[in-house]
Amino acid sequence: MANVLGVSHTSDMVVRSKAGMSDRTFSILLVAPALAVILVFAILPLVYALDVSFRFADLTRGGIREYVGLDNYRRVFSDSNFWTAGWITLKFTVVAVTLQMTLGVGIAFLLHGMTVGKGLVRSLIILPLATSAAVTGLFWRYLYDTQFGVLNWILGSFGLPEPNWLGDYTIALWSVVIFDVWQWTPFVALIALAGLQALPREPFEAAELDGASSWRVLRTLTFPLLKPVLFLVLVLRTIDCVRLYDAVAVLTRGGPGTSTETMTFYLYRTGLKLFRMDYASTMAIFFLYVMLVAAIFALTPLLKQFTDRAKEA
């Protein structure tokens, strides 16, 4: 506390006479515009959604109407579609994040040990990150095509089965997973590689002198040191997977049936296809609440790291 303010106090004392404004006023003036924008547009929609969630609101039948108490909230608990969507989201998130983390870290190790061409390989594999899921996702439908798709042609030429990637309800969700893995594994790899390259040298040299086995070094040195970075990546990926929308929208539109209908897609369908704003808002509030609570727990370490740095600077 004291040292944070200490820095500004000294400068304050020196030049107070010249600038009639205190550091505090100045700093608040700087934050105010951005904060106003964020507050208005984070809080306003929230209040609006909260209000609608207690009303009857069917845009096909007279728009936003009278209050109905907790009816919409009761419906959430009895709506099997909601829980199915939740289950699909959970399956997607667990599988996609696990694959992205393991493959990403594996690739980072592969690249880390490279002696030549590391930079080139890195540039090549980060390309999927630059593309929009909505645009490349659409093109992936052509790759997945059962008749003209290049994917099944490759599988076929190795004598492997040729699945109906997007048309089979038992497979479609995993096809979306593969697409997400394609787009986001490079992210994990990139960050993990940066983490590996930033590791301090001394403990590893000491371990080498002690004759520790590579496995032991990996388990007791590399992974513990990488943990903060990997944890951050895990949190960011989980948040993104839970709110996955774009890939589903362009690849499967929730189908076949409702086999790939994630939370966000069900919410979208309820609100903007069926125009039941009341129920969709209720689900949005639910969803938001869960995300925010999870985010607070997940992000606290990150925040601490940041404020600590601000204080020592």
Partner 1 sequence: MHEKRSLPLEVLRYGLIVLVIGFFVFPIFWMVLTSLKPDDAIMVSPPRFLFTPTLENYRHAIEDKNFLFYIRNTLIISVISTVFVVILGSLAAYSFARYNVGDGHLLFFILSTKMMPAIAVILPFFLIFREVGKTGFGQFMHLGLDQHGALILSYVVFNLPFAIWLLVSFFQDIPRELEHSARLDGLSRLKVLRKVTLPLAAPGIAVTAVFTLIFCWNEFLFAYILTRKTASTVTVGVESFFTLQGILWGPVAAAATIAVAPMLVFVLAMQRYMVRGLTFGAVRG
Rounded to whole angstroms, how far apart are CA atoms 250 and 143?
A: 13
Return the residue of 62, 70, 94, 124 that touches partner 1, per CB under 8 A.
Answer: 124
69 in the Ramachandran plot: left (φ > 0), alpha (ψ -120 to 50) or beta?
left
Kindly state the helix (H) or strand (E) to which residue 67 belongs, with its residue range.
Answer: strand 63-67
The answer to whether residue 185 forms part of the interface with partner 1 (CB under 8 A) is yes
DSSP state of 114: -
Number of chain positions touching partner 1 (CB under 8 A): 113
Question: Where in 21-80 is the site for partner 1 (CB under 8 A)?
Answer: 21, 23-24, 26-28, 30-31, 33-35, 37-38, 41-42, 44-46, 48-49, 52, 64
Kindly state the helix (H) or strand (E) to which residue 10 belongs, with its residue range.
Answer: helix 2-15
CA distances from 40 to 10, 35, 59, 209 (A): 35, 8, 25, 59
The answer to whether residue 170 forms part of the interface with partner 1 (CB under 8 A) is no
The answer to whether residue 264 forms part of the interface with partner 1 (CB under 8 A) is yes
The answer to whether residue 195 forms part of the interface with partner 1 (CB under 8 A) is yes
The answer to whether residue 108 forms part of the interface with partner 1 (CB under 8 A) is no
Return the residue of 232, 234, 255, 259 that touches partner 1, per CB under 8 A.
Answer: 232
Return the residue of 214, 216, 223, 224 that touches partner 1, per CB under 8 A.
Answer: 214
Nearer to partner 1, 170 or 214 (CB): 214
The pair of three-digit structure tokens given for residue 7, joined into one six-digit string: 């820095």
Rounded to whole angstroms, how far apart are CA atoms 240 and 248?
A: 13
Contact present, 227 and 82 (Cβ < 8 Å): no
The answer to whether residue 272 forms part of the interface with partner 1 (CB under 8 A) is yes
The answer to whether residue 155 forms part of the interface with partner 1 (CB under 8 A) is no
Return the residue of 71, 141, 155, 234 that touches partner 1, per CB under 8 A.
Answer: 141
Torsion, Cα of 167, 169, 173, 174 (10° steps): -80
Nearer to partner 1, 143 or 172 (CB): 143
Instruction: Mark the segment that binds partner 1 (CB under 8 A) among 67-75, 76-84, 92-100, 239-247.
Output: 239-247
